[in-house]
Amino acid sequence: MLTDDVRDGGGRATPGAIAERAADVASGDPRIGRVRELLAHLESGNTNEADRLLGDIAHEHDTGLFQEVGRLTRELHEALNAFRYDTRLMDLANVDIPDAKERLHYVIDMTEQAASRTLNTVEQSKPVCEEIRTRAHGIHEDWQRFMQRKMDVTEFRALSARLDEFLPWTEGSATRISDNLSEALMAQGFQDLTGQIIRRVIKLVEEVEGNLVNLIRISGQKLGSGPEPSAKPADTLDGPQIPGKRQADAVSGQDEVDDLLSSLGF
Amino acid sequence: MDKNMKILVVDDFSTMRRIIKNVLHELGYSNTDEADDGKTALPMLQGGSYDFVITDWNMPGMQGIDLLKAIRSDSKLASTPVLMVTAEAKKDQIVMAAQAGVNGYIVKPFTAETLREKISKIFERLQATA
């Protein structure tokens, strides 16, 4: 496929190049002189000299044509070889594209793991916070009664015992929450890694794009002269709107969704 | 609104299911189940008595819009309120969901407040029409 395209391109260029060279040769002065010389020999009946000159001219012409065909053949051959041995193109198709797909899958996995790690820490921390609040609230109520001297000695002893247990327990709980927060913090490291991976994939996409443009150019087709791109099916899903690339017929946020739905009677 | 109502959360990304479940939990709804696409969700809905469905749109197998249509065309499920939570933000799609009988539509990313507001709005309207 690739080879055919290149051959087509080279084949189309050949007649043009020859015509160009022919034009150069016709405008060259030396031959006019030699034709005059030939005419002079013929007029004076000097046939031997005339035949020799004619032979020279024909020979020279053939040599030029052969050289031109030779040059074009060599160029075509080199162009074909350049494509055949352009391992970068083969690498792109065989190695880099599958590799990029793997990378993007990895990005999905990594972001999912990071979200999961973060959610775990939140789920573990929330009940601890809830318990601290409940227990502190109870102790606070009793403490206020003590401050207002509304507490007898027995009750105060019980309160002291609760405080004695509550304070170190709170310390331990705070450590657990802090550890969870650190875990949530560390889990955000995925952003750096996935960012790097995605940037590499973008570079690869740009390289593939460049190569495709080259292929189209070599195959002799002008960009944009192809068939009209077929319309996107109406039910195609576009997924998240990318900042800076928002589509004209997409809403810009929840407010617009609400406006649209209320215009429909919601 | 009954805080014990049974809610089915349908999304192909487990992360999103967890986020929605956590927000629901925070709002006081803890009776939740999960499904990863319409194909899994539909038999669950037909088998269990769910009071509310929160679904994504773009999922493999069976998409959210088809799940919505299936719910509306099943006499036993037809009255179940459905809230769509999706990244699909095209007007045509919102209109399509509305025509298919969706009760609410939230575009991702969303806040806990938006989810709370839409859920209470849906049940207010249902009580008003009941």
- Is the Cβ of A238 closer than 8 Å to some Cβ of chain B? yes
In this prediction, residue A173 carries a pLDDT of 96
Please name the member of B94, B110, B114 whose beta carbon is closest to the beta carbon of A260. B94
Q: How close is the nearest chain A Cα to the Cα of B51, in Å?
A: 20
| pLDDT: which is higher, A234 or A198 | A198
Query: Cβ separation of B14 and A112 shorter than 8 Å?
Result: yes
Query: Cβ separation of B95 and A260 shorter than 8 Å?
Result: yes
Q: What are the distances in angstroms from CA A96 to CA A86, A194, A251, B87? A: 14, 17, 36, 30
- Cα B130 from Cα B127, distance rounded (Å): 5
How far is C-alpha A38 from the geometric centre of its chain's CA atoms? Answer: 68
Provide the pLDDT confidence category of residue A24 given band limits of 50, 70 and 90: low
Residues in A touching B94 (Cβ below 8 Å): 251, 257, 260-261
Average pLDDT over residues A165-186: 92
Is pLDDT at B130 greater than 90 in this prediction?
no
In this prediction, residue A61 carries a pLDDT of 78
Please name the member of B14, B105, B108 whose beta carbon is closest to the beta carbon of A240. B108
DSSP per-residue letters across A17-70? HHHHHHHHHHH-HHHHHHHHHHHHHHHTT-HHHHHHHHHHHHHHHHHHHHHHHH
Average pLDDT over residues A203-217: 83
Q: Token pair of A109, please?
A: 């996995």
Average pLDDT over residues A117-132: 94
- Is the Cβ of A113 closer than 8 Å to some Cβ of chain B? no
| pLDDT: which is higher, B47 or A56 | B47
Provide the pLDDT confidence category of residue A137 given band limits of 50, 70 and 90: very high
| pLDDT: which is higher, A91 or A135 | A135
- Is the Cβ of B15 closer than 8 Å to some Cβ of chain A? yes
In this prediction, residue B9 carries a pLDDT of 97
Provide the pLDDT confidence category of residue A236 given band limits of 50, 70 and 90: low
- Rounded to two decimals, the pTM is 0.57
- Is the Cβ of A261 closer than 8 Å to some Cβ of chain B? yes
Q: Are A46 and A34 in contact (CB under 8 A)?
A: no
Q: Which of A189-203, B62-76, B113-127 has the lowest mean pLDDT?
A: A189-203
In this prediction, what percent of chain A has a pLDDT beyond 90?
27
How far is C-alpha B32 from the geometric centre of its chain's CA atoms? Answer: 11
Q: How close is the nearest chain A Cα to the Cα of B114, in Å?
A: 8
- Cα A126 from Cα B22, distance rounded (Å): 11
Mean pLDDT, chain B, rounded, equals 91
- Cα B101 from Cα B99, distance rounded (Å): 5
Residue B83 β-bridge partners:
B54, B104
Is pLDDT at A100 greater than 50 in this prediction?
yes
Mean pLDDT, chain A, rounded, equals 79
In this prediction, residue A15 carries a pLDDT of 52
Please name the member of A115, A116, A238 whose beta carbon is closest to the beta carbon of B90. A238
Average pLDDT over residues A253-262: 89
Q: What is the ipTM of this complex?
A: 0.75
In this prediction, residue A91 carries a pLDDT of 81
